Amino acid sequence: MFLEGKRILVTGGTGSLGQKLVRRLLSGEMGRPAKITVFSRDEAKQHYMRLDFQHRKAATDDIIYQESQDLLNFRIGDVRNPSSLLQALRDTDVVFHAAALKQVPTCEYFPYEAVQTNIQGPQNLVRALRENDTPVELVVGISTDKACKPINVMGMTKALQERILLEANMDCERTRFLCVRYGNVIASRGSIVPLFVEQIRTGGPVTITLKEMTRFLLSLDRAVDTVFAAVRAGGRGETYVPQVPAANVVDIARALMEEKEVEITFTGIRPGEKVHEIMVSEEECFRTIERDGYYVILPVLPELRRGLEFTPALKGEYSSMHDNLSVPELRELLSAARSEIASFK
């Protein structure tokens, strides 16, 4: 098992993805880790996450409950602070780097804050590994479709995060660095689905920026599946991208309404917002292969590709504007993720 006996650090572990990742790690599907440490700067979120994980007594959660008692640790720290990060890395074999400022409008209004977390944070991680004797053997950076052909601060900073982590493979010989990149997680904090659920619950209106807007959709579990696929088979400098459906945002709202009639209002595009998201650009498609049901973007640096011969899996960009789901198909998809969505009701 790939993570059997490993000491795992999850930066940003109190976020939506971080919590789902920790729960899946505790299940033992990738092997039983020796220790899992949630590293974040928000003591309140850590407190409530600790209560949630350690006080679940339902029969279906008994294994996770027991494992959280034995394995799960919490550490206050900030990826902006090199010394607190280094202290955590001295006792770590595998890092899942999920810490980020990810709200698009917030990053537009506070761009340097995004720079410090999304660029300086991974640089601090890489520098700690370069300059110190740590046992870290694998780093998986969590990225976003907004990093592909970015037009907003969040996407620009996450694009640089990708490059910082992937370039680290050049001179950190003991550590394998790779990334995963995915789109809108159905039930993550700040995403459109929880917003629509609440607006529909209160009678509307449902607010959408533009009627043309489209997004990729995947569940939190599918996001974690992508992370685990990268752990299993990812090579140095590669970026894993899930093959997931896309939809028009208006159709997402209609699918969530079911039989209700709720007013939709169009508010205009927000600062930094894209109309369509892209997970693989037209430039990247020529070095993108298919592996185990995922698109894998090979490293931009030729030294890391090492003369690998391959046949590209795509002939153009992988965009949310293509092959959109119908409303009935969306209802089926959202129904499968209803337990995640219900937590926001």
Catalytically annotated residue among 20, 45, 146, 149: 146
Count of positions (residues) in the chain: 345
In a 3-state reduction of DSSP, which class is residue 263? Answer: coil
What is the DSSP-derived secondary structure letter of residue 301?
S
Residue 344 has which token pair? 């926001």
* Distance, CA of 199 to CA of 262 (rounded, Å): 9
Q: Which of 150, 153, 163 is nearest to 277 (CA)?
A: 150
- SS3 helix, strand, coil % of the chain, rounded to 5? 45, 20, 35
User: Which structure tokens are listed for 36?
Assistant: 């899992």
The pair of structure tokens assigned to 128 is 């700690």
According to DSSP, residue 170 is labeled G
Distances from the Cα of 87 to the Cα of 70, 227, 241, 254, angstroms: 21, 25, 31, 49
Distance, CA of 249 to CA of 212 (rounded, Å): 8
Assess whether the previous peptide bond of 302 is cis (omega < 30° from 0): no
Q: Is 260 a catalytic residue?
A: no
Return the H-helix or E-strand segment holding 74. Answer: strand 72-76
What is the secondary structure of 172-227 as a DSSP string?
A: -TT-EEEEEEE-EETTSTT-HHHHHHHHHHTT-PEEES-TT-EEEEE-HHHHHHHH
What φ, ψ does residue 268 adopt, rounded to 5°?
90, 150
Residue tagged 């809108």 (tokens): 184
**H/E stretch holding 149:** none
**Pair of tokens at residue 148:** 């592909």
SS3 58: coil
> Which residues are catalytically annotated?
146
